[in-house]
Amino acid sequence: MATALFVSVSASAQLQRPEKIQMQRPAKVMMQSTESAQLQGKKVLASQRVVEKKTAPMQMMAKAAKTAKAMGPMKSWANSMYYWRPMGTFYNTGTYQSNSYCYLVYPNFTDVTYYNASSEDKIADTQWLYGETEVEGDENNNLPEFYAISSGKLFYLPTLKYGQATFTIGEDYNYNQVGVISTDEVMEMTKWDTEQGGTYTGYDTGEYGFGTGVRGFDFDDDGTPEQVFSDGIVEYFDKPARPLYFTGLTLPVVSNKLTREEAFPDGMELKVQIVRAEYDEKGYPYLTDDVLTEMTVTPDNFTNYYTFAANDGSYGFLDIQSMEKDDFGGETPAPIIIEDAFAVVIDGWGQEGMDLGLFFGDAAAASYDWEFMSPTFEKYYDVETGEYKGMLRAYGQRPNGTPYCYNAWILLNGMFDVAYVDKDHQAFVAPIEGGIIETEAIFYEDEDDPSTAFHDNAINVYCSLPLYSTEEGMEDELNYYLLSANEEEEWPEWLKWTGASDDYYANYMVNLFQLTADALPEGMEGRSFSFRIVSDHGAKSEIITVVQGTVVEPTIKGDVNGDGAVTGADIQAIMNVMAGTAERTPAADVNGDGEVTGADIQAVINIMVGQ
């Protein structure tokens, strides 16, 4: 069953929406520089995996007989000096000034780590650059917690330098320009660099890299290969760096047949599932039973279909939307939010009469370790009995020791929506007499002139999307709204969202939110409330807290680290206080006895289990 992972925007007590009004703002918006890399000084341990130097346990079945795109320079391994695609980011192939690129699709305002994968003899002497500025790596010479705030959609990626040699992920070899898209729209994404990795049609005398065809493989090790056919694949993707708003897939397919009707006959179907994945103790992914969405594919899903110029085959594009059935049996689009590692599972091309395969690429040339690329797994069945035999993955090792793997070219249609609130806009104070809330933090129009100090009267939220929808007929609908940090808690009547402005979005990607509070009732010492800025596209901001008067108890009892939930992380936060590695806060004294001890850990456990 498909799981709805996003919050409905239907009217609810815990949601707040303002009227569309213009707000008064201080003359100067406090913005971080977009030119420098924002680095935090924390150490990040490398999670590099050692590639075993052994022969692949299977003969590579994916043959690239006809190349659709020439290979780019294999800088990812040829000079033994490169870095990996950050986990949770994906690629998009596009054009700029008539030149082809493979951009890294990167959620804006988000920390990611660039792992240095250079050889042991070089890694210590490699230097990180952002533009022309040298930036310091961590103890393993990785680039940790790197992010950039961009007022546009394109900005530079870090460069790794060794001597005179340089490497930048996604670099186009025809035009020396690199960049990152922080997308505000649905786009196609892949997990490997289609420019440097190469793209292949992958068919030869009836066999495909991934698709229809009978092959021989000795599954039972009796010395005689069984005749098996492929009926599907499993393609793993890492956990998105931010929640991924997923609307569907695009599958480039190829056939030995000359027409669509011969390749994918009418009446036949493929089944596609998005399944949540987890990792075992060795770091290898596996499927769970949690099916996030299921899609049926028919010939009607083709958007284009072509015959190769040599008249020896055909190819096309299947556009597949995530849908759900209504009470009347009809289907409507049903995007989902993906927050964990996941897999695309495709079944059904082994049906008699179907002749279809997928484009695929060689991930060895992509700037990423082959094991983390998770080679595509192909699902095999016995030709005679239809009995499931198992799965094989397409990987191996070249004579020069370079590992390689093949991946099916699956294009995710989605986007990263981000609502980021900096630390200075996470704590607000409401006047005792009521009125507009203001930041605890103090800002200055002129840092050298104390008389220019002010408290900001609006929440500054860095957003991927504009404040109001740009979809036709929905121009007055808000993309963002406010939700209780504790989703079980109703929005209080004393705090109201009264203003919103997108005046600064075009230049800074900042939307402004203004709230007002009622006067504190006589006899009440204080009150507080915590909430987030969220969207139906997956955005979920940091927690914002408004305090009026004097508040002693935390808004959520047991939420020691202030992330809006009571989890094992709060137990660790108490242990840090007890060990002296973290400052004591009122929230750490969960049971209210004036001390931070093991009794507070037990109190958190009791809250977690509902006692």
Reading the block at residue 495, the tokens are: 């705090």
- In order of 189, 304, 308, 350, 355, the CA distances from 259 in angstroms are 28, 12, 10, 18, 10
Split at pLDDT 50, 70, 90, the class of 519 is: very high
Map tokens 């931070």 to a residue. 596
Query: Any alpha helices (H) in 57-198, and if so which ranges?
Result: 75-78, 194-197
Residue 436: other Cβ atoms inside 10 A: 18
Whether the Cβ atoms of residue 409 and residue 194 lie closer than 8 Å to each other: yes
Residue 324: other Cβ atoms inside 10 A: 15
- Reported for 32-35, long-range contacts at CB under 8 A and 24+ positions apart, including other chains, are 32/149, 32/422, 34/148, 34/149, 34/150, 34/151, 34/155, 35/131
Q: What value does the mean pLDDT take over residues 597-603?
A: 92
Cα of 152 vs its chain's centroid, Å: 19
d(CA 401, CA 398): 5
Q: Beta strand 133-135 with 127-130: parallel, antiparallel or unpaired?
A: antiparallel
Map tokens 């590099």 to a residue. 48
| pLDDT for position 331 | 82
Q: Does the structure show a pLDDT above 60 at 335?
A: yes
Split at pLDDT 50, 70, 90, the class of 158 is: confident
| pLDDT for position 470 | 79
pTM over 0.85: no
Which of these, 480, 517, 523, 486, lies nearest to 502 by C-alpha position?
A: 480
Q: Does the structure show a pLDDT above 80 at 11?
A: no
Reading the block at residue 253, the tokens are: 């397919």
Distance from first CA to last CA of the chain, Å, rounded?
31
| pLDDT for position 538 | 92
Map tokens 């707040």 to a residue. 16
Q: Does the structure show a pLDDT above 80 at 26?
A: no
| pLDDT-wise least confident of 106-110, 288-292, 572-576, 597-601 | 106-110
Largest CA distance in the chain: 87
3-class secondary structure for 49-70? CCCCCCCCCCCCCCCCCCEEEC
Map tokens 């995530």 to a residue. 322
Selected residue with higher pLDDT from 56 and 318: 318
- In order of 58, 148, 150, 167, 386, the CA distances from 131 in angstroms are 44, 12, 14, 13, 57
| pLDDT for position 366 | 47
Dump the DSSP string for 119-137. Answer: -TTTGGG-EEEETTEEE--
| pLDDT-wise least confident of 208-222, 328-342, 421-435, 489-503 | 208-222
| pLDDT for position 371 | 52
Instruction: State the average pLDDT for the chain.
Output: 79
d(CA 175, CA 171): 8
Q: What value does the mean pLDDT take over residues 120-137?
A: 90
Whether the Cβ atoms of residue 249 and residue 188 lie closer than 8 Å to each other: no
Q: Beta strand 427-429 with 544-549: parallel, antiparallel or unpaired?
A: parallel
DSSP code of 211? B
| pLDDT-wise least confident of 18-32, 311-325, 506-520 | 18-32
Q: Does the structure show a pLDDT above 60 at 228?
A: yes
Cβ neighbours of residue 12 under 8 Å, at least 6 residues apart? none
| pLDDT-wise least confident of 77-86, 448-457, 461-470, 576-585 | 77-86
Split at pLDDT 50, 70, 90, the class of 138 is: very high
Cβ neighbours of residue 376 under 8 Å, at least 6 residues apart? 210, 233, 234, 235, 360, 393, 394, 406, 407, 408
Q: Does the structure show a pLDDT above 90 at 589?
A: no
Q: What percent of the chain has pLDDT over 90?
A: 39
505-531: string of b/e by CB count within 10 Å (b at 16+)?
Answer: beebbbbbbbbbbeebeeeeeebbbbb
Q: What value does the mean pLDDT take over residues 292-310?
A: 92
d(CA 24, CA 466): 19
Sorted by where each starts, the structural domains of the chain and their CATH numbers stand as 67-416 (no CATH), 417-551 (2.60.40), 559-611 (1.10.1330)
Q: What value does the mean pLDDT take over residues 401-426?
A: 87
Cβ neighbours of residue 397 under 8 Å, at least 6 residues apart? 53, 54, 55, 56, 403, 404
Q: Does the structure show a pLDDT above 80 at 154?
A: no
Q: What value does the mean pLDDT take over residues 564-585?
A: 89
Q: Does the structure show a pLDDT above 50 at 298?
A: yes
Q: At 181, which amino acid appears?
A: I
How confident is the model over 258-296, as pLDDT tens digits? 999 999 999 999 999 999 999 888 878 899 999 999 999
| pLDDT for position 47 | 22
Return the H-helix or E-strand segment holding 608. helix 598-608
25 HSE (CA, 13 A, CB side): 21
| pLDDT-wise least confident of 142-146, 178-182, 605-609 | 178-182
Cross-strand bridge partners of residue 211? 357
Angle, alpha carbons 473-108-158 (nearest 5°): 145
Q: Does the structure show a pLDDT above 60 at 498?
A: yes
Map tokens 């993955």 to a residue. 393
Map tokens 């093991």 to a residue. 598
Reading the block at residue 440, the tokens are: 């605890």
- In order of 119, 319, 413, the CA distances from 300 in angstroms are 49, 9, 18
| pLDDT for position 38 | 25
Selected residue with higher pLDDT from 16 and 357: 357
| pLDDT for position 27 | 33
Split at pLDDT 50, 70, 90, the class of 22 is: very low
Map tokens 């059935």 to a residue. 325
Cβ neighbours of residue 525 under 8 Å, at least 6 residues apart? 549, 550, 551
| pLDDT for position 124 | 92
3-state SS, residue 269: coil
Selected residue with higher pLDDT from 420 and 508: 420
d(CA 279, CA 288): 10
Whether the Cβ atoms of residue 88 and residue 239 lie closer than 8 Å to each other: yes
Which of these, 150, 114, 148, 144, lies nearest to 36 by C-alpha position?
A: 148
| pLDDT for position 64 | 27
| pLDDT for position 102 | 73
Reading the block at residue 381, the tokens are: 């069945």
| pLDDT for position 98 | 62
d(CA 537, CA 541): 12
Selected residue with higher pLDDT from 397 and 421: 421
d(CA 316, CA 302): 7
Split at pLDDT 50, 70, 90, the class of 197 is: low
Return the H-helix or E-strand segment holding 338. strand 336-338
205 class by beta-carbon count within 10 Å (0-12 exposed, 13-18 middle, 19+ buried):
exposed
Q: What percent of the chain has pLDDT over 70?
A: 77
How confident is the model over 355-395, as pLDDT tens digits? 998 888 776 544 445 555 678 888 999 988 889 998 887 77
Q: At 183, which amino acid appears?
A: T
Task: Say how many residues make up the chain.
Answer: 611
